[in-house]
Amino acid sequence: MRTSRISRDTSRILAASRTQRTLRQTRTAANITTRPELIESRASDDTENGENDVSGSELSSVPTESDSDDEVRKISRKRKRGQETPIVLKHEAQEVSIATIASPKKATKPKKARRTPAKKIKASDGSIKVEPPSNWQEIYALTREMRNETVAPVDTMGCESLADRTRTPRDQRFQTLVALMLSSQTKDTVTAVAMKGMQERMPGGFNLESVLALEPPALNAFINKVGFHNLKTKYIKQTAEILRDKWNSEIPDTIEGLTSLPGVGPKMAYLTLSAAWGRDEGIGVDVHVHRITNLWGWHKTQQPEQTRAALESWLPKDKWHDINNLLVGFGQTICLPVGRKCGNCKLADRGLCPSAVVAKNTKIKKEEATVKVEAPGGESIVHEQSLVAEVDDVKAEDVEGGMLDIEDIGKAPRVRTPRKAQ
């Protein structure tokens, strides 16, 4: 008996439908088997609905051999023999900010500190009064707190502490003056070694008479590690002769007398007067004091002498001696001439330093992997997400035009000549 084409197509559709129902029933039974607590409730539901009668149900029909062959051929068209279920991987990457991950609110950067320099105010009587920076006391206190937490070279090898305390007061004052003369453009560690060598090996001990008795080459051999040692040898010999002839073998006790000595400037004079004679008549401004106070925005000066005049116009006199040691040590440990450690500075953390720079710029890169699984019974998609931090360093020379070296403070900036193409 010949069957029509429509009848054959209808039979195939019914066979495929029965196969899919059988597969779903098998999966449901497997799930109930793995979860025993559902067996009893499912059985009762089937009894009420009459679905437990296998003999009268359409689902109990077993597919014929021809139907099974057709189904196998359909599945084989989707995948080759022996091939596992296909898996398609899709990778997507995008950048998001830290604020997006941490909080839905937009991140706000801390406001940069504004420069609040000292101001000159004219009083009603015509006199001019200098109003100090509004936040100077907080800045000073936090800087002192940071200095107390870390020992700087100036604390153990500063010129004020290098004199031999076993010598007479006159010899100690002379050694303090020589130490300050040697310290110009020289690290404290190098100055301390030179001073120790003269104290231990100079014939007759380290005093004015011994320096007068030494020949310039012998004196130069003691200090040949310090900067500009040849010029300093000349200055020390001349100073020793002036002290013997004009000051009765004693160092002067006035700023005018000290600055009259060769190689002694205002900074050395004020520091010598304070350390040797215990008199604070001015502020000893070296490169650290000049540089850091300008970074803080207390003033805008070009030379250390201008900085000294600006500070003395408003800084309380009881801070005149302390500020040099304070800022020298701060400049040696945290606020370095090159590569300032703003990340370790409490002033930058509290937004008090207008010159603070951000040490690092961090970006979070989100990488999302989409795993797409295609199977005969349907399709499932699994998302996997990972975060990768990318850190970019911000160099000091890239911010604010870079920083000058200690020896370059007060001088014209160096101009780099471009290299010729080879």
Task: Point out the residues that are catalytic.
Answer: 267
Q: How far apart are CA 237 and CA 262, in angstroms?
A: 10
Q: How far apart are CA 177 and CA 253, in angstroms?
A: 12
**Rounded to whole angstroms, what are the CA distances from 17 to 7, 59, 267, 380, 390?**
15, 10, 101, 22, 55
Q: Return the ∠ at Cα 261 (arms to 264 and 300), rounded to 5°.
A: 30
Q: How far apart are CA 327 and CA 287, in angstroms?
A: 10
Nearest to 76 by CA among 376, 378, 394, 297: 376
Phi/psi for 102 (5° steps) reads -75, -40
Q: Are strands 360-375 and 128-131 parallel, antiparallel or unpaired?
A: unpaired
Three-class SS of residue 121?
strand
Q: How far apart are CA 258 and CA 239, in angstroms?
A: 10
Query: What b-and-e string marks burial along 149-159, b requiring 16 or more CB atoms within 10 Å of the CB?
Result: eeebbbbebbb
* Count of residues in the chain: 422
Q: How far apart are CA 326 and CA 320, in angstroms?
A: 10
* Helices 5-34 & 39-49 angle (0-180, nearest 10): 140
* Helices 304-312 & 287-295 angle (0-180, nearest 10): 60
Compute CA 377 distance to the chain's CA centroid, rounded to the nearest angstrom: 56
The DSSP string of 16-38 is: HHHHHHHHHHHHHHHHHHH-GGG
